[in-house]
Structure 1
Amino acid sequence: MNRLITLLLLGGIFITSCKKDHGFLPPNVSLTNQADSVTAKINVAQTFNIDVKTDKDLTQEWVLDGKKVGNGNSYDFTAANAGSYLLTYKATNAGGVFTHSYKIIVEVPVIAIKAASSKFISKVFDYQPAPGQGINETVGSPEQAQKLIGGTNSFVTLGAFGGFIIFGFDHSVVNNTGYDLGIYGNPFGPPYDFSEPGVVMVSQDANGNGLADDEWYELAGSEYAKATTIKNYEITYTNPKAFADVPWTDNQGKSGVVKINNFHKHNFYPEFADNQEKLTFKGTLLPSTVSSSGFTTSKPFDFGYTDSYSLGDDFKTNGFNSFDISRAVNKEGKKVVLKTIDFVKVYTGQNANAGFLGEISTEVKGAVDLGIK
């Protein structure tokens, strides 16, 4: 009897063991691509495949940057923007879990410099000036902005604070050692000292669509970190719809006008603007350097702004202001590393009036890629 009981117990253990092992092995899958890090291109699908040896009671999922995006044996990854992505595959059954993660690097598209590449502006993407005395005249018109292409013999005015122009080259500008961009203006040096500083921003074609609709980075100049500089400044101009002072209000609780003068008897509000009621501009507000003691002057800053007779970038010798892409910062003020850039934005950085000389209004005469000799 004891022997019989022992045999039955052993048989029970054997049967139980067989039931426990049967169908409960960990997922038996293999990766077509076993790398941990892969590269991809914008708007080009890249397929990740899993070879499943057994799919009994198997659940699968693909997770991209924390969001579930699939549950099959493959996943097609397509990036709309450059950047770093984390793709994780996970297979689960009663026997265990199999996971693998891919770090996907999608680099910014780069238009290489060729023998025929030009160092001058090749395209003006946008021109939206603020109100000013030169606006609605030849020097303040969309047609004039287009004349910056291919040289530095024409100039366009940007109007009061915030008025801007966006341009690019026929190639991506490389961030080399030292200065990368030269932007021409028309400031005067001593003894007249009249500068109209413009803030410079740069952008990459991170989505590869050829349009300047990606994130912008400011090239931090000498005034960027000073207490007298106001970040995230916003100003709104109202169209008087006549030859009259143009009222403005800002997000600092202040108000004023862009004053008209008898040298320019027309509406200072841009008549070609899409919105003929109000215009709002945002950016970094630089302190006014206008002085009415003796000659009316507007002093330059040390470096980092265009249309400024700056000592820090030797405007007197070069005839242009020089800019280093390595000084790019994001909207939080943190330094960013840009290997190349595709778009440049210049806007008037001061909200100031110089009496009979009118509002401070940055002028742009053109730009060059200093990496091309």
Structure 2
Amino acid sequence: MKKFIKYSLYLAIVCSFYNCSNDDAKPEPVIEEPKPEPIKDPTLTIKLQADFTTERYNVVAIDPEVTIENANGAVAQYKWTLKVTGKDGVAKDSVIGDSKTLKFIAPKALSYAVDFTVTLNKLVKQASTKVTVAETGKTYTSKALSIIDYVPAPHYNNDGFEFATKAEAIENAQAILADGSLVDLGTFGGYIVTKFDHTVINAYGKRDFTVQMNTVSNASKFSPVSIMVAYDANKNGIAEDNEWYEIAGSEYYKSTTVKNYEVTYYKPDPSKTAVAGKYDWQFDKEYLKWASNKTASGFITRTKKWRRYNYYPQWLGDSYTLKGTKVNLATKDISDGEGTAFNVGTFEWGYGGIKDPSIDISWAVDGNGNKVHLPGVDFVKVYVSTFTEIGALDLVTNSFKQVEDLNFAAGK
């Protein structure tokens, strides 16, 4: 038995020694880290058609093929330029676009050398093309003289215009415009749509057209007006519903501005007894009923001064609805609460009927307030976007005079 135990211990010692020897004989494997791939320099290539053709005030899309490799997250910058000779006779590069695709449009029949530059960090590549602009044989005017649509909102200036149809009202407005007189728009939502005989170019970094309204005087108070624009992309001569965009002026993004506002106006009952108000000028404080899509409702007061006037456009049936963006217009009663004298505010930029009524087409936004890029516009809609009464002075309204292309070129 003792020999067995002695033998077993001997085997255990030998096995242990053997195993340790085996462990020592096998070195730990060495794991090599993968070598990083060398960073490749970015590459950039441009393929640009050598020449394009179009006509005056017509758009041609120039869409180069730009291939970028190994950009490593860098974003390319694009710039389109052409040579413009100034009054000093010196030709200088004028920027005409900053996106990959250029929608080229020009007012004069010439051959234009257009340069395209792509910048990717320190890498710069250039390409050039030629655009030949031909004459159309047409004569153009700087003003939008054709009235496409017209619907005034309530106001005492509607008195005497008892047309049977909307078409008659538009025909009358066209005659007023041709005579150089003013077309009344009334209060909130009253609008006019005019059409140019050419596309007003969206000039890079410049104001493009102006909207002239009634001239402000000490005796009368007028509302700034909002503006919508449409580019006739399919050239069918019609402003499609999906082609309209609003000019986002200084008030557009303010918390007091209400998007998608609607007001329904109801035709007054001529046999209804007038409901006099607290003040002498309130001839009928429940004259013309209105209701909005934002749960608000009320009445437009018929003032004593205009008590014999009909505020409601007679050709529009028993009720009609006008829509738009409602903008808050600051007013202050300066007659100790008597409602006989008011100060009325104005807006900074992006509206008609203000100190500087010039408009940049680049201010256009879609229905969600996102900026859009239009090569130009063919149609302009002007509408009253405020809904304000100022006591004895009646409603704050405005009257349309004209829309004019600021960068118009009459001939070659």
Show the 5 A alignment for 1:1-373: 116-137=139-160, 142-147=170-175, 149=177, 153-176=180-203, 177-188=205-216, 194-214=221-241, 215-242=243-270, 245-262=287-304, 263=306, 265-273=308-316, 276-294=317-335, 295-308=341-354, 310=355, 313=356, 321-372=357-408
Deviation of 1:119 after TM superposition, in Å, equals 0.6
Paired residues of 1:197 and 1:307 also in contact (CA < 8 A): yes
Paired residues of 1:219 and 1:304 also in contact (CA < 8 A): yes
Deviation of 1:326 after TM superposition, in Å, equals 0.5
Deviation of 1:148 after TM superposition, in Å, equals 5.8
Deviation per CA, 1:159-215: give whole Å up to 9, x if none: 1101110001111111113111111112426x7793311110001123432122342
**SS of aligned partner of 2:158:** coil
Deviation of 1:266 after TM superposition, in Å, equals 3.1
Which 5+ residue runs of structure 1 have no aligned equivalent?
A: 1-36, 38-81, 84-106, 314-320
TM-score normalized by the length of structure 2: 0.56
Deviation per CA, 1:84-139: give whole Å up to 9, x if none: xxxxxxxxxxxxxxxxxxxxxxx999896777311112210011111111114469
Deviation of 1:272 after TM superposition, in Å, equals 2.2
Q: CA 1:156–1:243 in 2, change beyond 3 Å: closer, same or farther?
A: farther
Paired residues of 2:158 and 2:311 also in contact (CA < 8 A): yes
Structure 1 vs Structure 2 CA RMSD: 3.2
Deviation of 1:333 after TM superposition, in Å, equals 0.4
Q: What amino acid does structure 2 have at the position aligned with 1:168?
A: K
**SS of aligned partner of 2:397:** coil
**SS of aligned partner of 2:377:** strand
Partner residue in 1 for 2:35? none
Partner residue in 2 for 1:43? none
CA distance in 2, matches of 1:193, 1:150: 24
CA distance in 2, matches of 1:233, 1:162: 9
CA distance in 2, matches of 1:334, 1:302: 21
Deviation per CA, 1:250-292: give whole Å up to 9, x if none: 122111122222426232111122xx02111111100032222
**SS of aligned partner of 1:365:** strand
Deviation of 1:224 after TM superposition, in Å, equals 0.5
Identity between Structure 1 and Structure 2 (%): 34
How many aligned positions are there?
258
**SS of aligned partner of 2:264:** strand
CA distance in 2, matches of 1:329, 1:339: 14
Which 5+ residue runs of structure 2 have no aligned equivalent?
A: 1-48, 50-59, 62-101, 109-134, 164-168, 273-286, 336-340
Paired residues of 2:227 and 2:380 also in contact (CA < 8 A): yes
CA distance in 1, matches of 2:182, 2:231: 25
CA distance in 2, matches of 1:180, 1:306: 13
Deviation of 1:241 after TM superposition, in Å, equals 4.2
